[in-house]
Amino acid sequence: MRLLNISTLQFQTFGDHDRPPYAIASHRWEGKEITYREMLQHQDSPSTSNGYLKVVGFCHLVNRTNNHIGPAKAFSDLGLRRQCDWLWIDTACIDKQDGAELSESINSMFSWYARSSLCYAYLADVKPTQKLWSSKLDLMRSQWFKRGWTLQELLAPCTVVFVANDWTVIGHKCSYSEKVCNSVCQGFGDRLNKTIAHITGIPQNIINSSMAHELRAVPVEEKLSWAKKRVTTRTEDQAYCLLGLLDVFIAPIYGEGENAWTRLVQAL
């Protein structure tokens, strides 16, 4: 797994047994996002492109959280590490010109989100506001909740912190009890589990949980219903974005079109 250091913007690859605590990014792709190879080119000369600035914005957000997290017994009790020096973001951390790496990444993505210390969801179409009712209304309208890939990015992590387009916190979803949430989710805004269940149509008990075995117990037909109205830019991604949620493995073949869905159904 390739991670980006939030301070140096240098990459490092880790194995399953030496992987450090890391934050993970969720966002809707817009326009031309920066690639891994472009990030390498700009390590000594920062870019002004929107894609590069988005990556830097995530790094600053993680660093800001690191600076505001205080000691809490609940962290050690849960074996939880909120402070992270590393970030994973799909645009910059996957070399998409390497077919084998792309295939491994797509099939590993659900577990990567599930194992993250914290997930940040950047909502580019939500403006900052001091009014809770207004921010919830904007949240309901956000395209983030209508995209295929963001379904697993919502369900896999224990904690997802939603931020507006100026990187201010809107609120969060988490899988902890109210008492634990009050200890380990300070600074993440209001808990939005109920609101998210209303927006997505996913039962709140599923939103409240990030346990893989509980998701596996949900019938396939119900999981597919959660994704029914979500859209992807590529036809194939309608199938690929569900691999982790459905606990199946298929090698992605971009260009196969609707045959990707046929292969997914055969793999179930």
Q: Where are the domains of the chain?
A: 2-212
- Contact call for residues 62 and 87 (beta carbons, < 8 A): yes
Which residues face 25 on adjacent strands?
Answer: 120
- What is the model's pLDDT at position 209? 83
Which residues face 205 on adjacent strands?
Answer: none
Please, what sign has the CA dihedral across residues 62, 66, 67, 70? positive
Classified as helix, coil or strand, 50 is: helix
- Contact call for residues 207 and 173 (beta carbons, < 8 A): yes
In Å, how far are 83, 119, 193, 235 from 231, measured between CA atoms?
A: 33, 21, 22, 9
Interval 73-130: pLDDT, tens:
555 555 556 689 999 999 999 999 999 999 999 999 999 999 999 999 999 999 887 6
Residue 56 to residue 61: CA distance in whole angstroms: 9
- What is the model's pLDDT at position 44? 79
Percent of the chain's residues with pLDDT above 90:
74
Residue 127 to residue 133: CA distance in whole angstroms: 13
55: exposed, middle or buried (Cβ count in 10 Å: 0-12, 13-18, 19+): buried
**Length of the chain, please?**
268
Residues of the chain under the 50 pLDDT cut: none
- What is the model's pLDDT at position 136? 75
- What is the model's pLDDT at position 252? 96
- What is the model's pLDDT at position 81? 64
